[in-house]
Structures are given as C-alpha cells and as structure tokens.
Structure 1
Amino acid sequence: MKHLAATALIIAAASCSAESGPRVVPSPEEKLEDLRVLPMHVGGRAIERGDETVRQWPGTYFETAFQGPAAYFRVGEGDQILHIRADGHIVRTMIKPQAGLYRVDGLGNGAHRLTIEVASESQLGPTGFGGFYGAAATKAVAVAPRRRQIEFVGDSHTVGYGNTSATRDCTEEKVWETTDTSQAFGPILARRYKADYQVNAISGRGVVRSYDGAKVDSLPVAYPFVLFDHATPVRDPTWQPQLIVISLGTNDFSTQLHAGERWRSRPELSSDFRKTYVEFVRGLRAVHPRAFFLIWTTDTANGEVASEVRAAVEKMKSAGEKRADFIQISGLAFSGCNYHPSLADDRTIADRLAGVIDARKDIWSK
C-alpha cells in the first residue's frame, strides 16, 4: 500500500500541469549541465559525498533563494518523506520519491525561497540530496544562516515519533509514515525564534540504556558522529547554538531491567545514568561554552524519569554549572503512535519551553 501511495503521489504531481500556482513535477528531460547551481543552506548535520549531501539525523532541511518563476532540486537515494516549501508554504509532500530531478514552477517572476524539509526518521540508513538548480535566466540570491541557533538533543519525543497519527495503535510502517519532525516541538520553537536548528535525536535511545534493553548505541555514543556509522566525527565551527534543549531518560527507565543487562538493580542503573548524563552535558559545555541548557522531561514512568533527570541537573549545578535549567512537563495526552506526543502535545511542549526561554533575558545576548 505504501508503494501505491508513493506512485500515486508522483502521478498526481505529473498530471497537474493544468493547475495554477506552485507545483512540483518530475523533470527527467532536463540536463544538469544546462542548469546553474543555486546556493544552498543546510540545516542539520550532513556530509558531502560525491555530488550529494548525505544526512541521517532527523529534521534536516535544505534552503535556497532565487529570482525567477521556477527552480529545480535533485533527490538522492534512500527512503524519506519530504515537504517542499515555497516561500514558507508547503507546495507538496513527497513520500519515498524516486531519485532524480524535480522542478518547482508556477512561482511568478519575483524573489523566492525554496525549502526542502526531511520529515521522516532515517535510522536504517542515510539519504541523499543533490542540491538546487536554476535555468540560465534564474538569478541566484545568497542564503545567509540565521543569527540564532538552537540544538535539540533527545529521543523519540524530540524526533516527533508518530506525532501525526490519529491512533495510538501503530505498526512499524505506520510509525514511519506518521512521524513528522518538522512539526515536532523543536522546529516549532525554532520558527518562533527565527533560529536555525539541529535535531540530534534518535527514537528508542537513552543515556545509558535504550528502550527495553535494546543492544544499540545510546544517544551519547551516537552523538559525536555526522552519520550513525561512527565514521566521521562532527566538526562544524559555524555551529555554536545559544540554546541546547535536551530531553533524555525516558528509554532508560520506561521498561524493567532484563536478565543479562549490565545493571543488576534499579539503583545501579540510576547511578550509571546520573553519572553519564552529567558527563555528556559536560562534554557539550566544552564545545559550546556560551550555550544555555534547557533540560526537560515528561511525567511518564510514575515520575521516575523526571526524578532521575532532576537529580542529574542538580549534580551538574553543584559541580559549578550555572547556565542550565530543568522543567517537567505534565498534562500531555500522548495520543500519537504507541503513546507518544501528538501534534497538539508538541505545541504544548513548545509553549511550556518558550515560557522558560522568554523568562531568561541572557540566552540570546550571550
């Protein structure tokens, strides 16, 4: 069924030539050598491989600006859901688009900003993006990075896992189809503050223990790398966020310990969690000396997650950390897939975090 939906989407795009207004259509007849490369701004971690920009962490976005009625973009390999935005408005959402060249036209002759947002999570493998192009008459416009930067570090609550689902009962396939990081609380906050953002989060991962004891990298282990393959460490001197929002711990404590895990008791898990959490944030502080840390949790697992994270934050502060705050967010419906935050919950989380941010007058001035 998912392949039929993707095919139908492409057919619909190709058959809308009579429609007025912006549209997205495959453009296999165009040759890249006949087009000019447009400048591109990338939001999120990415690496250049050949003629593609490759990414895997969620929430990646690609932007360009130009003057003219149309522009092109090239989709690379890998399953993904893409929102194509022209001047801030979604023109089309593409589900598992085929690799190749696409044209956005019907824009009018003025100045335009084109944004491609990756909505889906890509744990199974990276995806590629081949850049933006324009016809010979298209005038390129520089795309300046935003002055404000926010980084979001976390698990499925930060990814936006199943947040567009109308039901809690979801298959693995439905989770993928209904996850929309661009509508999660992080990008909502970033748009509110006109900030560039990175979403460095992986569903199911914890600080020391992943969901139900799964034998996969914890978030701190995966965090230092551009992709999930441990091959290329992150080195980006231009990324100096004024605000780092962290939400971790749900996967460490939401399930019972199993035989064979390295922690023999809950207190032993708690001790390891607090120690590793503090070390992880201390490492972030070394890289981002001026950032403010806003650390939050929900009230799930009978309050155990919030209690453990609060204790870790207090430990940081007692060791001298002065630019960090903790907030527990209650009252969420968790009506998304598998009892995850819904779109309404994401808006609530964004509002609660904004209340803390707005009360601090030193976040953006540092």
Structure 2
Amino acid sequence: MRITKSIALLGCLLYSNPGAARIPANDTLLARQLHPIGRTLLNTSKQLELVTSAAHFGVSFTGSTCTVYVKADNPDGYNYLQYELDGVYQKRIRVEGKPTAPIIINAPIGGKHQVWIYKATEAHTGALVFSKIVAGNIKALTVPLQPLIEFIGNSITCGAAADASEIPCGSGQYHDQHNAYKAYGPSVARMLYCNYIVSSVSGIGIYRTWNRESPNMPQVYDNLDFQVNSTRKWNHATYQPKIISIALGTNDLSHGDGSAREAFDSTRFISAYVQFIQHIKQYHPDAQIALLSSPMVKNAEGALLQRCLTAIKNQVDALYPSGKKVAVFFFTPLEPHGCTGHPDVADHQIMANELKPFFKRLLGS
C-alpha cells in the first residue's frame, strides 16, 4: 500500500510540473490570435491565409527559436514567405504545400525578439496558410497606428521577377523571383513609417492585360484573391487608406506576345481609369488618389502615358470639385535589371527613393 501511494504521489508531481509539458499552452499562438494586415482570411479551419503580396503579421517571443506552422494552399505546389527579425530583413523561405516539418526561425542570441512575417508572392500564386506559431512567451504584435497606403498595380508593384539572388532568371517558376517586401511600395511606406497593403496582379492593366483583352483590374479588384471568377469578395471597409496609389498602364501599352493585338486605345484607357477611380471612391471617398507612371515605359509611349494620366486627373478633379485633387507622379525612366524586363530589388529601391518626397508631401496634406 505504501509503495502504491508513493508511486501515485510521484506521478502527481510529474504531471503538475510545468517543465514536464513539452509545449506549454502559453507558448502557442493560434492563427486566429494573430493581427495581420493585407488581404487575409481566417478560413473555416481557423487557419490564417495571407493572400496578397506583402500581407504580414508580427509576433514577439523570448528565446532563440520561433517555430512557424505554415503551408502553401496548393498541396502539390510551393510558395514563399520572408521575414524581419528585430527590425532587420532576413531572407525568403520556401514553403511547401505538403510540409514535412515546421519552419524554424533562429535568433542569434536568446532574450526578447520581434518577428514580422510577410508573404513574398502575389495573390495568384496562392495563399500562405498558417495554423500556429510556437515560441517562448509568444505574443501577437498589433499593427502600429500609422497612416495606411494602398498600392494598386501590376507585376512591378508585386515585386515580381525582382530577386534572382537564389534562383536565376529563366529558371524555376515565375514566383521564384518574387520579393514583395522589397518592392517599391512597401519600401517607400517603411521609409515614411506607414502601414501598407498591396493590391496587384502580374500582367494586368486598366482595360486589358499584357497580351489579352481581359481580365482587367476593375474586373478583379473586388475579389479577395483577384481571381476573375472568385466567389470570395473583399470587404473594403476593412481598411481606410490615407493614400491610394495606382500604377497601371504598362500592360495596356504592351505590344503583347507577338500575336495579333489592337493598338493602344487612349480613349478607352482614360475612360476605364476614371470609372475605376469612381468605383474606389465609393469605398474610400476621403482617400488621396495618386497616379503613378511607369519607369519601364519610355520615349513616345512614356509621353503618351503621361498625357493620359494628366487627362485622368483633370476628369476626376472635375467630377469631384470639393474633393482632394488627384496627385500624379512621373517616374524617371529606368533600365531594369530584373528578370524579363522587370526592375530588380536595387531598381525598386531607386523607385522608392524617388517616390519618397512625393508621398511625404501627400501625407502632410
């Protein structure tokens, strides 16, 4: 009897010992407890989906490791995340659709740390799906109270084809060279201590794509994932941007893939752009609209794009005489160094530096 009681007492002591638990409950942060920014979704399994370029969330933890349970939404595919550790950008990490192990983020030393995790790729690549984050004393970080800029655009705004540091241009899949974190929009927003969301689709324009007549941005903008036939709608009331930056036109002006293509129609372009801005203003009537040209569109076509953007500004200003005047920015032409004629990471930094005083002025107005 005494032996039995002793064994029972020892069992109770082991069970009640906090050190005996492999993962204490307060060291696990479930996906539903995170505070993301960007187009995101908490799915029916209570997993967090980061959908759009540079959608992100942050956590703080104590120790030297943070374990991230994440997968790509396509079981047969893969995706990429990228992260900051204690305010310093680290790297991209490939995320499998059928992961065999969680991703472990290592800090060089123990102590308290902050990690911000970003989706490196655009919405059409598929979502990153998070179930939980595990680390010592882990807590969800709230998004700082800062002005918000929304960046609407195409592959340039996505940061597509910008980063060949790991997989060279011309090899791998299209999204292997995506780097949304270092695209011009997120870069200039961080310079100005602003929050940001990126609403962009490779190849898209205001009335046509780079090689087809559709889909265009107005057709997909209201859909969570920018898929033309998507049934998942985006709730525009989720955020109230102070500035909405729109950079479209490169693909409308594109000569396509060599197949038959109608010449650029400036009248159609201007009309579609004005209607799109009117649509945006239904959701965000007080936001400052900023139209950006393209540093990739040069010479006669560059001048044509500038004339079109000026005409769009004038028409919208006339439609809303008491509203904020549309701002227009013309990039200095740039020779791109990324893949397939896109700007690389260094080019995006040049673009961000050029944009900084423009957005700084708009933020102060």
Which TM bucket (shorter chain)? Answer: 0.7 to 0.9
Give the Cα separation in 1 of the matches to 2:361 and 2:214.
38
AA at the equivalent of 1:36: T
Alignment of 1:161-200 (within 5 A): 161-165=160-164, 170-171=169-170, 173=172, 175-200=174-199
The residue that corresponds to 2:220 in the other structure is 222
Alignment of 1:46-85 (within 5 A): 46-49=40-43, 50-78=45-73, 79-85=78-84
1:104–1:212 Cα change, 3 Å: closer
The residue that corresponds to 1:112 in the other structure is 113
Identity %: 22
Summarize deviations over 1:301-359 as a string: whole Å, max 9, x none: 52233332222222212222533211111231212111112223212211222121233
Shift of 1:201: 0.3
AA at the equivalent of 2:224: V
Gaps of 5+ in 1: 1-29
Q: Which moved more, 1:84-93 or 1:151-160?
A: 84-93
Q: Is the 8 A contact 1:67 1:140 kept in 2?
A: no
1:32–1:224 Cα change, 3 Å: farther
Give the Cα separation in 2 of the matches to 1:332 and 1:250.
13
1:139–1:128 Cα change, 3 Å: closer
Q: Is the 8 A contact 1:245 1:293 kept in 2?
A: yes
Q: Is the 8 A contact 2:54 2:119 kept in 1?
A: yes
Give SS of 1:273's match: helix
Q: Is the 8 A contact 2:50 2:56 kept in 1?
A: no
Give the Cα separation in 1 of the matches to 2:309 and 2:46.
43
1:48–1:360 Cα change, 3 Å: closer
Give SS of 2:310's match: helix
Alignment of 1:1-366 (within 5 A): 35-37=27-29, 39-49=33-43, 50-78=45-73, 79-97=78-96, 99=99, 100-106=101-107, 108-135=109-136, 138=137, 140=139, 142-165=141-164, 170-171=169-170, 173=172, 175-213=174-212, 216-227=214-225, 228=227, 229-235=229-235, 237-255=237-255, 266=264, 269-298=265-294, 300=297, 302-303=301-302, 304-320=304-320, 322-360=324-362, 362-363=364-365
Shift of 1:253: 1.3
Q: Is the 8 A contact 1:66 1:141 kept in 2?
A: no
Give the Cα separation in 2 of the matches to 1:305 and 1:90.
35
Number of residues of Structure 1 aligned to a counterpart in Structure 2: 325
Give SS of 2:279's match: helix
What RMSD, in angstroms, separates the aligned Cα atoms of the two structures?
Answer: 2.9
Give the Cα separation in 2 of the matches to 1:312 and 1:296.
12
1:272–1:32 Cα change, 3 Å: farther
Q: Is the 8 A contact 1:335 1:342 kept in 2?
A: yes
TM-score in terms of structure 2 length: 0.79
TM-score in terms of structure 1 length: 0.78
Give the Cα separation in 1 of the matches to 2:293 and 2:204.
14
Shift of 1:129: 2.1
